[in-house]
Structure 1
Amino acid sequence: MQTSISTPLQIQTLLPQSFSRRSLIPLYHQRAWKIEVGIVRTLTWLEDGTVVPLGIWGSEDIVGGSLSQTSPYQIEALTDVKVRPLLLKDWQPSQEMFLNYLQHTQELMMIRSNRRAEDTLLKLLNWLANKFGSEVGNGYLINCKLTHQDLAEFSGLTRVTVTRILSQLEQQGLIHRTSRQLVVIKDEEVWHYQI
């Protein structure tokens, strides 16, 4: 488990901190992070090394090892991020925040529960586009450079299966890819659902 010890100065100042893409955000006892800019994922892993994503989080979300019973626990920046430390003793979470957290977790569980690999990946891409995408001409650009391995871990599929399905979705005109950027095409048959 990744652990760090904060100095009294760090706790007193509580200044925002920046982390680059793919860096690990340190964990501190009785402290969490409020994401101001960027996207992170929280994760754990099994004894055999299998990565288990716990969530994908963005602006205004709160993450931290102190909020989870999971061990080991890590926070990885998926983009460049700016986070603000949050002392748990001073934090009064709102009911809305708890509901959003619960919805977020349930949506990812539902996506991973699909029986067809194609449905799982397409629903994950639509969820990412809804949560982190920005509207472009004919669809939504997912503003996070995810690898095929990342998508495999989030969806519970293999990397090879993800690569195959992404090619199929592109051939069907449901997505468009350019150098690690992905646009989910707006389509009445695909875009109508909400989890």
Structure 2
Amino acid sequence: MLARDRFIPNTVELTSNGQRTWTNYERGDIIHLRNGGMWQVCRGWVQMSTFSIEGRERVLGWLGSSMWLGDGLHARPQYRAKALSDVKLVWYSSVEIEVSPHLRSSIVLQLSWRQRQLLELVAAIQRRRVEERLRHVLILLAQEMGQPVREGTRLGVRLTHLDLANVVGTCRVSATRILNQLKNQGLISWDRQRHLIIHDRTLL
């Protein structure tokens, strides 16, 4: 099933800067990358992707709290932003960003971080064997959105087998088979909310 593509009207929230509009998206929603400004993620996780000539989705990375998306970074037709969890976004206009050294500095810092994340993701998915690709993507996900728990590292969002298959460029059946193997080896498990837990990243 394709992710939903719907826009939820803005609500007004009082912030330290005064009245600021913000928008909620639910898990699976496609986020509209508007021109004339940028969104800042206040809560949740967003997945950025593009599409090959054949129409196959290529994941470019993930954005969490305080990260930016929109005009000047990836507000182009071939890019797509999808909410991996319930997401809360705050909108800043281009004028606000232009006159604020703090906002501009935050965006510049993100560009460096995004480049590192993308390079690590590319290095992971260029590995020949699907199992190697999936293992390295799990390590990267643990680094980017991992939360320490008693059993190891819990991913901050609930990713389906299809989500992971799309990241590493394989089918859902193959991803499920490898994930089950890793589970049987005691390397990963899932909690009651179906969040993946990596027990020991060094073993992956």
Short-chain TM bin: 0.7 to 0.9
Distance 1:160 1:16 in 2: 38
Which segment drifts farther, 161-170 or 103-112? Answer: 103-112
> CA separation of 1:108/1:70 partners in 2, compared to 1, >3 Å: closer, same or farther?
farther
Instruction: Note if contact 2:41-2:87 (Cα within 8 Å) is conserved in structure 1.
Output: yes
Tell me the amino acid that sits aligned with residue 181 of structure 2.
Q
Q: How high is the TM-score relative to the length of structure 2?
A: 0.79
Instruction: Note if contact 1:45-1:72 (Cα within 8 Å) is conserved in structure 2.
Output: yes
Does 2:123 align with 1:98?
no
Matched residue pairs, number? 185
Unaligned runs of 5+ in 2: 11-18, 98-103
> CA separation of 1:89/1:105 partners in 2, compared to 1, >3 Å: closer, same or farther?
farther
Match of 2:197 in 1: 183
Out of 173, 177, 180, the residue aligned to residue 186 of structure 2 is: 173
Secondary structure of residue in 2 paired with 1:122: helix
Q: Deviation of residue 56 (structure 1)?
A: 1.3
Secondary structure of residue in 2 paired with 1:84: strand
Tell me the amino acid that sits aligned with residue 116 of structure 1.
R
Match of 1:84 in 2: 90
Secondary structure of residue in 2 paired with 1:15: strand
Tell me the amino acid that sits aligned with residue 142 of structure 1.
L
Tell me the amino acid that sits aligned with residue 174 of structure 1.
L
Provide Cα deviations, 1:122-147, integer angstroms capped at 9, x if missing partner.
Answer: 11111111211111112111121111
Q: CA RMSD in A?
A: 2.7
Provide Cα deviations, 1:44-77, integer angstroms capped at 9, x if missing partner.
Answer: 3345432222221111111125422753322111
Distance 1:31 1:14 in 2: 14
Mapping 1:29-68, distance limit 5 Å: 29-64=35-70, 66-68=72-74
Distance 1:108 1:158 in 2: 18
Provide Cα deviations, 1:17-36, integer angstroms capped at 9, x if missing partner.
Answer: 21111112222112221111
Does 2:32 align with 1:26?
yes
Secondary structure of residue in 2 paired with 1:79: coil
Unaligned runs of 5+ in 1: 8-12, 191-195
Instruction: Note if contact 1:25-1:74 (Cα within 8 Å) is conserved in structure 2.
Output: yes
Q: Deviation of residue 41 (structure 1)?
A: 0.8
Match of 1:118 in 2: 131
Instruction: Note if contact 2:47-2:59 (Cα within 8 Å) is conserved in structure 1.
Output: yes
Q: How high is the TM-score relative to the length of structure 1?
A: 0.83
Identity %, equivalent residues: 30
Match of 1:15 in 2: 21
> CA separation of 1:54/1:189 partners in 2, compared to 1, >3 Å: closer, same or farther?
closer
Secondary structure of residue in 2 paired with 1:68: coil
Out of 136, 150, 158, the residue aligned to residue 149 of structure 2 is: 136
Which segment drifts farther, 65-74 or 48-57? Answer: 65-74
